Structure 1
Amino acid sequence: MDTVKLLSLLRTSSGSKSLTRAKLIHQKIVIQGLQNNIALCKSLINLYFSCQNYDSAKLVFRTIENPLDLSLWNGVLAAYTKNYMFSEALELFDRLLQNPFLKPTSFTYPSVLKACGGLGRVGYGKFIHTHLIKTGFGLDVVVSSSLVGMYAKCDKFDSAIKVFDEMFERDVASWNTVISCYYQDGQAEKALKLFEKMRESGFEPNSVTLTTVISSCSRLLDLERGKEIHKEYVKDGFVFDSYVSSALVDMYGKCGCLEMAREIFEQTPVKSVVSWNSMIAAYSSKGDSKSCIELFRSMHAEGIKPTVTTLSSIIMSSSRSAQLEHGKFMHGYIIRNRMQSDIFINSSLIDLYFKCGHVGSAENVFDKMVKTNVVSWNVMISGYVTVGDYFKALSIYEDMKETSVKPDAVTFTSILSACSQLAALEKGKEIHKYIVESELESNEIVMGALLDMYAKCGAVDQTFNIFQKLPEKDLVSWTSMITAYGSHGQALEALKLFHEMLQINVKPDNVTFLAVLSACSHAGLVYEGTLKQQ
C-alpha cells in the first residue's frame, strides 16, 4: 500500500475514532518502513489523539528519527493543549527551544501560552512574553490575544489589560478576554464600557461577549441596560446559545422579572444544567421553594443531573420561606443519592432547620460536617442567636476558638448580639479585644454590633468611645447611642445627640423618636418630649 492510499485511509478513519483501525494502519506504516514520513505521522498522531490514545500519539512522535518539520511540532503542541495536557505541551516546547535547526513561529506560541494559562505558570508566561518582544512575534494579533488570555487565566488582570492596550491590532477573542477580566475583577461597569468601545471599533460581539456583558448587567442589577442589549440582538437576528440564554435568565431573575426569565428559559431548545440552575436561582431569590422543587423534578425527568449549585439554591429557597417539608425533601435526596454536600449546602440546611425551629436537626448536620471553615461555625452561632439560645451561641464560639478556626466579621457580629441579649459586659469586652487584634475596627457592621452591645450592657462611656470611632454613622448607630444615654438618665446628652443627627440630615425613624421620648420620660422632661412629638 503506497503513501497516498495510507494518507487517504488515515483521513477517512479520523471520524470513526476507532483505536483498532488506528493500530492496524500504524502497523502497516511500520511494516512498509514509512515511520519517518512526516505527512503520515501527522495524520496518525491526530488519529490517536481523536481516539484519546495519548501514549501511542507520543510514541509516534518520539520514534521519528529526525523531526525537522516545524508544523509537526506545532500540531502536537496544539493537540496537547486541546486535550488539557499542559505539562506535556511545555515539556515539548522546551525540547523545541533546544533544537538547533528549528525555531518557534507565530503558530507555536498560542498553544504554549494556553498551556501556561492552564497551569497558572505566569513566570514562564512572562519569559515567553519577553521572548515575543525580542523576536517581534508579539505584533501578531493571535499571539497577542493568547498573551492577554494567559495573563487573564493567571488572574493577572492588570498585565492582561496592559497587553491589550498596547496591541496594534485586535480580534474578538482579545476584546472578550479583557471584558471578562473586568467582570471577574468585580468591575462590571468597566466591562460594559469596553463592550460599547468594542462595538464602536466595528467588532461584532459573539456569544462569549454577550454572556459576559449580560452577566455584568446582572451583577449591577441594571435591568434597563440588560433589556436594551437583549432587544437589540433579538432584532438583529442573533441566535442565542444556551450560555447567552442562561445569562439572560439569570439577569432577569436577579432583577425580579421572573415572567421574562421563565419565557426565555422555556424558549431555550437545549437546556443545559446552567440554564436550569439560573431559573431555579431566580425563584430561590424570591423564596419560592415550591416552584424550585417543581423545576427540580422537571430537570430530573429530563435526565439532567443536579449540581451543588442546584441543591444549594433549592435549600436556600426553603430556608427563606421556612418550608421545612421542601428542605427535608432535598436533604433526603442528597442522602439517598450519596451526594457530597459542600459547605454551602450544609450551611443552608442548618439555617433552614434553625428557622423552622428544628434545632436538633441543625446540630446533627453540623456534627457530621468537616468543621475547618469559619462559615460552618458562623451559621451555628447565628442560628442559636436566632432561636434565642444565647448561652449555646457563646459556648460554640468558645469551641470554635479551641479548634483554631479564626473568627471573622460575621462571627463577631453574631456573638456580640448574644452578649447584648445577655447583658454579658465582661464577655463583650473580651470579644472587643479580639476584634482589635483581628484589625476589624474599621468594619462598620462589627463596630455597630459592638456599639449596640455596650449600649445594652449600660456601659455608656464605652458606647460613646465606640460611637466616635465608627467609620460611618448610620441611623442605627445614632439611635443606639441616644438609647444608651436615655436609659441611664442622661436625657440632655440624648437630646443634644438627636439635634446633631438632624443637623447632618440623618432622618430619624419611629425607633429613634421612641428613644428620644424615653430619654425625656426618664428625666422628667415632659415639655421637651412633647416638642419632639410635634
Structure 2
Amino acid sequence: MHRASVSPDAFTFPHVLKACGGLQNIGYGRVVHAQIFRHGFEKDVFLQNGLLSFYITCEENNCARIIFDGLRSKDVVSWTLMISAYAQNGQPMEASRIFRDMRRLHVKPDWIALVSVIKAYSDMEDLNQGRCLHGLVIKTGHEFELDLRISLTSLYAKCGHVTAAKSLFDGTEVGDVILWNSMISGFAKNGHATEALELFFEMISRNIEPDAVTVQSSVLASAQLGLLDQAKWIEDFVNNSTFRHNVIVQTALIDMYAKCGSLDSAREIFNRIEDKDVVIWSAMIMGYGLHGRGREAIHLFKEMKNYGTRPNDVTFLGLITACSHSGLVEEGWEIFLCMQDYGIEPHQKHYAGVVDLLGRAGYLEKAYNFVNTMPVEPGGSVWGALLSACKKHRCVQLGEYAAEKLFNLDPLNIGYYVQLSNIYASSRMWDGVAKVRVLMKSKGLNKDFGYSMIEINGKMEAFRMGDRCHPRSDEIYKKLKWLEIMLLECGFIPDTESALHDLDKEEKEMTLCNHSERVAIAYGLISTSRGTTLRITKNLRACVNCHLATKLISKFVDREIVVRDANRFHHFKDGICSCGDYW
C-alpha cells in the first residue's frame, strides 16, 4: 500500500495494529504508532484504543499507561482495556484503582470491565468489594452473562464462601469447563474435598472435557481425603488421559500419594518422570519429610544436585521438615545454612522449621536464642513451633512466654490456648489450666473435638472418643475390650500422663482406652480381612499412650497400621513405628 503511494486512513491502522499484536512484533508496532501521529490521528479515540490493545497484548503495560493517561477523551473501551491489562498481569490493586477512577467520572462499565475488576478483587480476596460488584452486576442487568457468573463463582469460592459460589454455579445452565474449574478448585482449596470430587465425577458423567486445572484440583481434593483407593482411581484416570505427561499433574499425583500414606506409589510416579524439574524433586522430598524419612530426603537431595537441578525454597523446607521429624539435628542445621550458598532467603516457614528441629530434640535454649537472633520479626509459625516444643518437654516458663506472643499475634486461634493448657496439665498445674479455660471462655473459644477417620472399602468412617453412634457399636466395643485385654497380657501399662485433665487414675485409664484412633482401629479390625493395612487419619496429634498401644496392637494382630496425625505419618508394623518414637 505504501509502495503504491496510497495514504492509510483511520480505518487502515486498527487492522495493522491487530496484525502486529498477533505477531507480538513490538518493533513494527512502534513504527505504526509513529505513522498514526504522522498522519494526524493522535486524537482518534478508536485508534488510540487500538494502540492500547496492541501494547497490552505485547505485555507493555507501561507504554499502554502513557497512552491512556494522555487521552483527553476516554470511552468505556479505553477504561476496560486498562483495567483488564492490570487484572490479567498480576496487578489487581492498580486495576481496582483505575476502576474507582472510572466510577468517579460516571463512566458506566460494560460486562467486560466488570469481569476484569471482579478478577482483581478475587486475586486480592477482597470479599466486601466483590459483593459490592455483585450488586452492581445485578443493577446493570448483567447477572446472566456467563463470563460474569464464572468470575463471581471464582470470587466467592476463592474467598471461602463456597455456599454462595455453589448457588451461582447451580443457577448457570451452560457447562463451561472454566465454571466447573472455579467450583471444583474452590471446594478443594477450602477443605470441601468430598464435594470437589463429587463435582469432578459429575462433570465426567456429563461428558464435559476436563483440563489440567480440573485434574490438578481433583488430585488436591483426593490428597486431602487421604483415600488410597480414590487416589489409585485418580491416577488411572490421569494415565488414560492427555494429562499423563503433564508435569504439574504428575507433581500433584506425587503429593497426593504421599498424603495418602503410600510413599512407594509416590516414588513410582517420580521414577517414571524422565525430565524432572525442581518442582518434581521438591514434591518427592516434601513427601519424605511428611513421613519423617530424613535420610531418604537427604539422599534424594544429593541425587538432585548430581542431576544438575538447582534447589528452591520449597526443596529446603521439605529437607528441614524431614530432618526435624527424624531427629537429624546437625544435618538439618547444615541444610539451613546451605540455603545461603544458593542465594535463597529463608522465609518464616524455614525459621519455624529450624525452631521445630531444635526444640523437638530438646534444645529449647538454642531454639529460643535462634528466635531472638532472627533477621526478621518472628511470626506465628515460629512462636507456634517453640510452644509445641515446650509442650513436648514440659517447659512451663518458656511455654508461657511463647503463648503470650501468639495470643498477641492471633488472639482467636484456639490451638494456642489448648497447647498452653496442656503444658500446665502435664505439669499438674491445675490452676493454670483453669486460668486458660477462663480466658478461652471470655473470648468465646471452644476446643476442637478430636476425631479419627478410617478408610474401609474406599470410604471414610469417622469416630470420636467413646463414640457409640455407629450401627456396629456393640461389635466395636467388644473388639476394643479384647484389645485392652491383649495389651494388658503384653504388659502394657497406660500412660495416664496422656490424659490432660484433673481426673483420678481409673478415670484416666478409661478415657485413654476410648480415644478416637483406638475406636477406629477396632472398627477396622472387624471390617477387614486378616493382613489388610489399616489407614487412619486423626485431626489432632497422636498422644503418647495411643502411640505406645498402637505399636503393640500392630504386632499381636499382625497388621500394618498407618496413622496420619496433625503433624506427620506413623507407620506401625511388628511393634515398631517408622518415627522411631520421635515425633
| TM-score (normalised: structure 2) | 0.67
In structure 2, how many angstroms separate the alpha carbons of the residues matched to 1:495 and 1:421?
Answer: 16
Match of 1:432 among 431, 434, 443: 434
Q: Which amino acid aligns with 1:327?
A: G
Q: Deviations over 1:464-511 (max 9, x none)?
A: xxxxxxx9569977996999756xxxxxxx599969x89xx9899999
Shift of 1:294: 3.5
Instruction: Tell me the secondary structure at the aligned position of residue 126 of structure 1.
Output: helix
In structure 2, how many angstroms separate the alpha carbons of the residues matched to 1:156 and 1:347?
Answer: 30
Shift of 1:225: 1.5
Match for residue 321 of structure 1? 326
In structure 2, how many angstroms separate the alpha carbons of the residues matched to 1:401 and 1:510?
Answer: 26
Match for residue 66 of structure 2? 59
Match for residue 116 of structure 1? 121
In structure 2, how many angstroms separate the alpha carbons of the residues matched to 1:131 and 1:402?
Answer: 44
Shift of 1:245: 1.3
Between 9-18 and 154-163, report the one with greater CA deviation: 9-18
Tell me if structure 1 keeps the 8 A contact 2:162–2:186. yes
Structure 2: 5+ residue runs without aligned partners?
A: 451-463, 468-493, 523-544, 550-583
In structure 1, how many angstroms separate the alpha carbons of the residues matched to 2:119 and 2:143?
Answer: 15
Instruction: Tell me the secondary structure at the aligned position of residue 143 of structure 2.
Output: helix
Match for residue 280 of structure 2? 275
In structure 2, how many angstroms separate the alpha carbons of the residues matched to 1:121 and 1:415?
Answer: 34
Tell me if structure 2 keeps the 8 A contact 1:117–1:150. yes
Q: Which amino acid aligns with 2:39?
A: Q
1:217-232 maps to which residues of 2 (within 5 A)? 217-232=222-237
| Residues 1:443 and 2:450 are matched in the alignment | no
Q: Which has the larger radius of gyration?
A: 1
Match of 1:247 among 227, 249, 252: 252
In structure 1, how many angstroms separate the alpha carbons of the residues matched to 2:131 and 2:445?
Answer: 39
In structure 1, how many angstroms separate the alpha carbons of the residues matched to 2:391 and 2:124?
Answer: 44
Match of 2:217 among 212, 216, 234: 212
Shift of 1:214: 1.0
Tell me if structure 1 keeps the 8 A contact 2:414–2:445. no
Between 278-287 and 55-64, report the one with greater CA deviation: 55-64
Q: 1:445 to 1:319 in 2, by over 3 A?
A: farther
In structure 1, how many angstroms separate the alpha carbons of the residues matched to 2:430 and 2:508?
Answer: 27
| Residues 1:45 and 2:52 are matched in the alignment | yes
In structure 1, how many angstroms separate the alpha carbons of the residues matched to 2:281 and 2:337?
Answer: 21
In structure 2, how many angstroms separate the alpha carbons of the residues matched to 1:381 and 1:479?
Answer: 18
Shift of 1:33: 0.7
Instruction: Tell me the secondary structure at the aligned position of residue 30 of structure 1.
Output: helix
Q: 1:432 to 1:344 in 2, by over 3 A?
A: farther
Shift of 1:186: 1.0
| Residues 1:367 and 2:372 are matched in the alignment | yes
Between 143-152 and 343-352, report the one with greater CA deviation: 343-352
Match of 1:33 among 40, 44, 53: 40
Shift of 1:428: 3.1
1:107-256 maps to which residues of 2 (within 5 A)? 107-256=112-261
| TM-score (normalised: structure 1) | 0.73
Higher-strand-fraction structure: 2
Match of 2:92 among 83, 86, 90: 86
Shift of 1:244: 1.3
Q: Which amino acid aligns with 1:394?
A: V
Shift of 1:191: 0.9
Instruction: Tell me the secondary structure at the aligned position of residue 59 of structure 1.
Output: helix
In structure 2, how many angstroms separate the alpha carbons of the residues matched to 1:103 and 1:385?
Answer: 59
In structure 2, how many angstroms separate the alpha carbons of the residues matched to 1:42 and 1:267?
Answer: 50
Q: 1:217 to 1:267 in 2, by over 3 A?
A: same
Q: Which amino acid aligns with 2:382?
A: S
Tell me if structure 2 keeps the 8 A contact 1:35–1:64. no
Q: Which amino acid aligns with 1:438?
A: M
Q: Deviations over 1:424-447 (max 9, x none)?
A: x5x43133222222239953789x
Higher-helix-fraction structure: 1
In structure 2, how many angstroms separate the alpha carbons of the residues matched to 1:107 and 1:291?
Answer: 51
Tell me if structure 2 keeps the 8 A contact 1:289–1:318. yes
CA-atom RMSD in angstroms: 4.3
Shift of 1:248: 0.6
In structure 1, how many angstroms separate the alpha carbons of the residues matched to 2:121 and 2:339?
Answer: 38
In structure 1, how many angstroms separate the alpha carbons of the residues matched to 2:85 and 2:510?
Answer: 72
Q: 1:399 to 1:510 in 2, by over 3 A?
A: closer
Instruction: Tell me the secondary structure at the aligned position of residue 174 of structure 2.
Output: coil
In structure 2, how many angstroms separate the alpha carbons of the residues matched to 1:511 and 1:229?
Answer: 35
Q: 1:272 to 1:45 in 2, by over 3 A?
A: farther
Shift of 1:123: 3.8
Shift of 1:167: 1.6
In structure 1, how many angstroms separate the alpha carbons of the residues matched to 2:396 and 2:315?
Answer: 33
Q: Which amino acid aligns with 1:59?
A: I
Give identity over the alignment, percent: 24
Q: Which amino acid aligns with 2:431?
A: K
Q: Which amino acid aligns with 2:182?
A: T
In structure 2, how many angstroms separate the alpha carbons of the residues matched to 1:71 and 1:510?
Answer: 65
Q: How many residues are aligned here?
A: 470
Between 221-230 and 23-32, report the one with greater CA deviation: 23-32
Tell me if structure 2 keeps the 8 A contact 1:372–1:405. no
In structure 1, how many angstroms separate the alpha carbons of the residues matched to 2:144 and 2:405?
Answer: 55
Q: Which has the higher contact order (CA 8 A, sep 6+)?
A: 2
